[in-house]
Chains A and B, each alone.
Chain A
């Protein structure tokens, strides 16, 4: 019964490709999401997802589906470069800069997409993705970004950690903080670009933030949080796809695959949060010390 639910949907090639793509994205987003979490970049990530949007549209207009990733990439690199450099001058507050960039880029995207004939259908695809139409090339792009992410985290992991924990000290130690910001932000941008086809520009933020936040609720150690967030991202991707398949095929309730993955991840977060609250409540009632001893 459970194996039927978890395995049998993925016999069809299109479902198998969707699963591989979703698992890769789940792992990638989980790991990079921990950086987003500890560096408090959820809003920046959100902004990147919006700034990628016009690139997606332009890429699609110029050369159809295969134009989406290059278009998104150009826009993401442009936006992240702009943002990092403007923020480095420290004249303007980060979130104001972001808000300006976010809305400007997004408006361009909407204007472009509104000139298309199939306005609503295209918009939905760009915003929420189409994991079930994943092609071999999409998987290769995601795999390449995953390899790059591992390399970046290996090479820059320590200074990125230091910069997230104690920015002033990291600068004082002679690290070039703007360069570190650029590396970290570009990594996030690449993940967003890789995820655009499958889950769209809006839902990727959930895949980045939710597994990392859930893992943080459960554990205190960074290495453990990274491992657990990666695992949770993959688990959510699998369960989400399976659930969406079961609902659509077996029960005739159409559930969008990408959104179902996000809902599964959020449900996991909610459960853990609830567990936390209950545990804390029980401790308070029992009057035991809540100091964590490890």
Chain B
């Protein structure tokens, strides 16, 4: 059965992703439409990050296929924005918040031209979207973890992407920053961008996302949150570590 392809931005067809000879995640099958927010859910080591890197064309698809905006992942990079985890970056790096956000414009600016007024305006607007316009001149590393994550999202927004990929953006993020991140992501998807976000936060996936991939080295389910985030499926994927609480919320004992 082929996945649905109508207005689909990112299509996974029985895709398997591997580092060299080591498979990271196998048989991923589903699609992300424009304007949708889709979660990648699963325990640590489930292959969420690898799948994200495959969408960005950084890790090879060894069987099946991933098609991004109608092209192989590596050829769609300029229209896909990536938001890495903020804590992977050096907090001592001498770079201002405004400079980080402006990076989102680099591909549009080109090699020799200095950034134009339109680029600066786009960067400022993107920073305002995440509510940090007053921190533009501060050094990136001086911001809190959540604020740094918002800056990285602003950099992605500044590039005006057709698809957005976020790797665990809510890890260790305070409530204020989480709200700001969610608002900005919802804005972007309302504008037609396809969004993929990996997360450990099941209630968040349930409340925010249109669809969910449940993964642990392979795909356990793909569909609407209420179909996928069920105690039975979660127990399968998490190996019995999932526990249902009430009708919606779930707690994972680990």
Contacts and interface: CB of A to CB of B under 8 A. Distances in A.
Interface of A: 38, 154-156, 158-159, 161-162, 164-166, 168-169, 171-174, 216, 219-222, 225, 291-292, 294
Given A221-B96, A294-B137, A165 B78 contact: no
A165 B100 contact: yes
A190 B138 CA distance: 34
A38 B93 CA distance: 7
Q: Top 3 nearest A-B pairs by Cβ distance? A: A174-B77, A172-B82, A172-B56
Contacts of A154: 112
A204 B107 CA distance: 35
Given A165-B100, A173-B78, A173-B107, 16 more contacts: A38-B93, A155-B111, A155-B112, A165-B90, A166-B103, A169-B82, A169-B84, A171-B56, A171-B58, A172-B77, A173-B77, A216-B94, A220-B94, A222-B99, A225-B94, A292-B142
Contact of A158 (B58, B88, B93, B106): B106
A279 B23 CA distance: 53
B121 interface: no
B9 interface: no
B80 interface: yes
A168 B155 CA distance: 14
Interface string B86-127: 001110011110011001001101011000000000000000
Interface residues of B, number: 29
A222 B94 contact: yes
B139 interface: yes
A168 B103 contact: no
Interface string B123-143: 000000000000001110010
Given A168-B84, A292-B142, A161 B95 contact: yes
A46 B25 CA distance: 40
Contacts of A159: 106
A154 B114 CA distance: 10
A168 B82 CA distance: 9
B36 to A, nearest CB: 21
